[in-house]
Amino acid sequence: MTLITFLLVCVAGMLLTLLTMPFARLSRLVALGSLAGALAAAVLLNPNDSVTLGEVTLATTWFGGFFLSALAASSLLLCVIGLATGWPERLAPAALATMAGVGVAISSTDPTVALIAAAAATAPAALVASRVRSTPLGTTVGIAELRTLALVVSASVLAAVTILNTNWNSDDPTFVLALAFLVVSAAVAVRSGAVPFHVPAALLSRSGEGLGLVLSLVWIPTGFGLIALSWNASIFGVPGDWLDRAVVVVQIVAIATLILGAVGAMLHDEIEEIVVYSIVQDTGFILLALTARSEDAAQPARLWLLAFVIAKSALVAWAAAASWAFESSNLGELRGWLRRAPILGIALVVIVAATLGWPGSPVFEARGTLVGLGLPDPLHFIGTAAILLSLAYYVRLLAVGLLTPTDTVRRAGGDWPHWPHLARETDESVEAAARTASPLVLAVATNLVELEDEASGDDEGVPHRRPNLYLRHRLAAAWRLNRPLETSLLVLATATIAAIVAFGGFGASDASQSGITLDDAAAPPPNPSGLDNGGQPTDTPSAEPTAVPTLQLAPSAPPLASPSPSDSPSATPTATATTGN
Partner 1 sequence: MLDAAVFAAVAVVLGGVVAATARDGRIVVLGLMLAAVAATLVASPLPGSLAVTARILGAMLAAYLLWAAAGSGKVNSAGSAIGLVAEGAVAVAAFAVGLALRPVDPLAGPVEAQAAGLSLIALAIVPLAGRDVFRMGVGVTLLTLGSSLLVGAWSGPTPPLEQLAMAALLVGIAGATSLLIPSLEAEEAATDYVLESAPAPVATARPVAARPVAPRPAALRPPAVPIKSNAPERVAAPNVAPLQAVAERKPMTAETPKPIEPIEPIQPIEPEKRPRPMTAEPEADDWLAWEAPAPEPAQPVTTRSARRAPVKRLNEIEKPAPKKATRSRPHLGGKP
Binding flag, residue 117, partner 1 (CB under 8 A): yes
Interface residue with partner 1, options 110, 282, 295, 415 (CB under 8 A):
110
Per the CB < 8 A criterion, the answer to whether 270 and 328 are in contact is no
SS3 379: helix
Cα three-residue angle 397-505-579, rounded to 5 degrees:
110
Q: Does 475 bind partner 1 (CB under 8 A)?
A: no
Based on CB atoms, which residue is closest to partner 1, 40 or 481? 481
Choose between 135 and 384: whose C-beta lies nearer to partner 1: 135
Q: Is 510 in the site for partner 1 (CB under 8 A)?
A: no
CA gap 346, 46 in Å, rounded: 36
402-406's contacts with Cβ under 8 Å and 24+ in sequence apart are 402/336, 402/338, 402/339, 403/335, 403/336, 404/335, 404/336, 405/335, 405/336, 405/337, 405/339, 405/340, 406/332, 406/333, 406/334, 406/335, 406/336
Does residue 434 contact residue 476 with C-beta atoms inside 8 Å?
A: yes
Residue type, 408: T
Q: How many CA atoms does the CB half-sphere of 51 hold within 13 Å?
A: 16
Identify which of residues 487 and 496 has a Cβ nearer to partner 1 in the complex: 487
267-279 burial, b at 16+ Cβ within 10 Å, e below that, comes to: ebebbbbbbbbbb
Task: Determine which residue in the list 33, 86, 368, 524 makes contact with partner 1, applying CB under 8 A.
Answer: 86
Neighbours of 377 (CB within 10 A): 7
436 is a contact residue toward partner 1 (CB under 8 A): yes
Select 484 or 555, whichever has its Cβ closest to partner 1.
484
Which residues in the 249-278 window bind partner 1 by CB under 8 A?
270, 272
Among 282, 295, 425, 519, binds partner 1 (CB under 8 A): 425
Number of amino acids touching partner 1 (CB under 8 A): 124
**Does position 547 bind partner 1 by CB under 8 A?**
no
Q: Where are the alpha helices (DSSP H) in 283-403?
A: 284-292, 298-326, 337-340, 342-356, 362-374, 381-402
Please state, in angstroms and rounded to a whole number, the distance separating the CA atoms of residues 227 and 187.
12
Cα–Cα dist 534/416, whole Å: 64
Residue 439 within binding range of partner 1, rule CB under 8 A: yes
According to DSSP, residue 523 is labeled: S
Does residue number 164 form part of the binding site for partner 1 (CB under 8 A)? yes
Q: Report, in Å, the least distance between residue 484 CB and partner 1.
A: 8
The reply to whether 112 sits near partner 1 by the rule CB under 8 A is yes
Residue 317 identity (one-letter amino acid):
A
Q: Which of 72, 78, 99, 116 binds partner 1 (CB under 8 A)?
A: 116
Among 10, 183, 310, 320, binds partner 1 (CB under 8 A): 320
552 binds partner 1 (CB under 8 A): no
Q: What mask of x and - would describe binding to partner 1 in positions 176 to 205, judged by CB under 8 A?
A: ------------------------------
Interatomic CA distance for residues 441 and 480, integer angstroms: 9
Distances (CA, A) of 378 to 88, 295, 371, 383: 45, 22, 11, 11
Q: Which of 33, 208, 342, 558 binds partner 1 (CB under 8 A)?
A: 208
Distance CA 190, CA 196 (A): 9
24-43 and 2-19 helices cross at what angle (nearest 10)? 170
In the range 38-57, which residues lie near partner 1 by CB under 8 A? 53-56
Return the number of the residue (136 or 359) whose C-beta is nearest partner 1: 136
CB of 143 to partner 1, least distance (A): 6
Residue 101 within binding range of partner 1, rule CB under 8 A: yes
CB of 270 to partner 1, least distance (A): 8
The residue within the footprint of partner 1, chosen from 20, 48, 50, 566 (CB under 8 A), is 566
The residue from 41, 45, 68, 211 that contacts partner 1 (CB under 8 A) is 211
519 binds partner 1 (CB under 8 A): no
The region of 36-44, 132-140, 240-248, 531-539 touching partner 1 under the rule CB under 8 A is: 132-140
Q: Is residue 502 within 8 Å of 355, Cβ to Cβ?
A: yes
465 binds partner 1 (CB under 8 A): yes
Gap between the Cα atoms of 433 and 415, Å rounded: 19
- Pattern 133-152, binding to partner 1, x per CB under 8 A? xxxxxxxxxxx-xxx-xx--
Which is closer to partner 1, CB of 306 or CB of 343?
A: 343
Contact between 461 and partner 1 (CB under 8 A)?
yes
Is residue 171 within the footprint of partner 1 (CB under 8 A)? Answer: no
**Per CB under 8 A, which of residues 481..500 are in contact with partner 1?**
481, 483-484, 486
Binding mask 396-415 for partner 1 (x = CB under 8 A): -----------xx--xxx--
Burial 559-580 (b: 16+ CB within 10 A, else e): bbeeebeeeeeeebbbbbbbbb
Of 235-243, 325-333, 344-352, 492-500, the segment contacting partner 1 by CB under 8 A is: 325-333
Interface residue with partner 1 among 223, 261, 420, 463 (CB under 8 A) is 420
β-pairing, 50-53 with 56-59? antiparallel
Binding test (CB under 8 A) with partner 1, winner from 388, 392, 410, 438? 438
Q: Strands, E, within 383-436: which ranges?
A: none
Among 158, 186, 189, 246, binds partner 1 (CB under 8 A): 158
